[in-house]
A and B are shown apart, each in its own frame.
Chain A
Amino acid sequence: MAQVVVITSGKGGVGKTTSSAAIATGLAQRGKKTVVIDFDVGLRNLDLIMGVERRVVFDIVNVIQGEAKLNQALIRDKRVENLAILPASQTRDKDALTKEGVQIIIEELSKEYDYVICDSPAGIEKGALLALYFADQAIVVTNPEVSSVRDSDRILGVLQSKSKRAEEKREPVKEHLLVTRYDPARVERGEMLKLEDIQEILAIPLLGVVPESESVLRASNTGTPVILDAESPAGLAYGDAVARFLGEERPHRFLEVEKKGLFKRLFGGRAA
Chain B
Amino acid sequence: MSAEPQPRAEPFRLRGANFNLLVLRLLDARIDAVVPALGDQFKRAPGFLRFAPVVIGLGDLAVPPAEMDFVALVRELKALEIVAIGTTGGTPELRQAAIAAGLPPLRQSGGDEAAPSSAPAAPATAPVNPPPAPLAPSGLRPTMIVDQPVRAGQRVWAQGADMIVTSTVNAGAEVIADGNIHVYGALRGRAIAGGADNLGARIFAQNFDPELVSIAGFYAVREGLGKAPIGRATQVRLAGESLRFDPFGA
Task: Report yes or no: A158 in contact with B153, Cβ–Cβ below 8 A.
Answer: yes
Cα(A13)–Cα(B232), bound, Å = 35
Residues from 126 to 166 in A contacting B, C-beta threshold 8 Å = 150-151, 153-154, 156-158, 160-161
What are the residues of chain B within 8 A of A154 when measuring CB–CB? 151-153, 172
B64 adjacent to chain A (CB < 8 Å)? no
Q: How far is the CB of B207 from chain A (nearest CB, A)?
A: 10
Q: How far is the CB of A10 from chain B (nearest CB, A)?
A: 9
Task: Report yes or no: B148 in contact with A160, Cβ–Cβ below 8 A.
Answer: yes
Task: Report yes or no: B153 in contact with A201, Cβ–Cβ below 8 A.
Answer: no
Cα(A161)–Cα(B171), bound, Å = 18
Q: How far is the CB of A171 from chain B (nearest CB, A)?
A: 15
A203 adjacent to chain B (CB < 8 Å)? yes
What are the residues of chain B within 8 A of A157 when measuring CB–CB? 151-154, 173
Q: How far is the CB of A236 from chain B (nearest CB, A)?
A: 31
Closest B residue to A152 by CB, please name it: B152
Cα(A154)–Cα(B153), bound, Å = 6
Contact of A161 with B152 at beta-carbon distance under 8 Å, contacts A150-B171, A150-B172 already known: no
B125 adjacent to chain A (CB < 8 Å)? no
Contact of A203 with B149 at beta-carbon distance under 8 Å, contacts A157-B154, A161-B46 already known: yes
Cα(A151)–Cα(B151), bound, Å = 10
What are the residues of chain B within 8 A of A153 when measuring CB–CB? 149, 151-153, 170-173
Residues of A within 8 A of B (CB): 150-151, 153-154, 156-158, 160-161, 200-201, 203
28 examples of A-B residue contacts, CB within 8 angstroms:
A150-B171, A151-B152, A153-B149, A153-B151, A153-B152, A153-B153, A153-B170, A153-B172, A153-B173, A154-B151, A154-B152, A154-B153, A154-B172, A156-B151, A157-B151, A157-B152, A157-B173, A158-B153, A160-B148, A161-B46, A161-B154, A200-B186, A201-B168, A201-B171, A201-B188, A203-B149, A203-B167, A203-B168
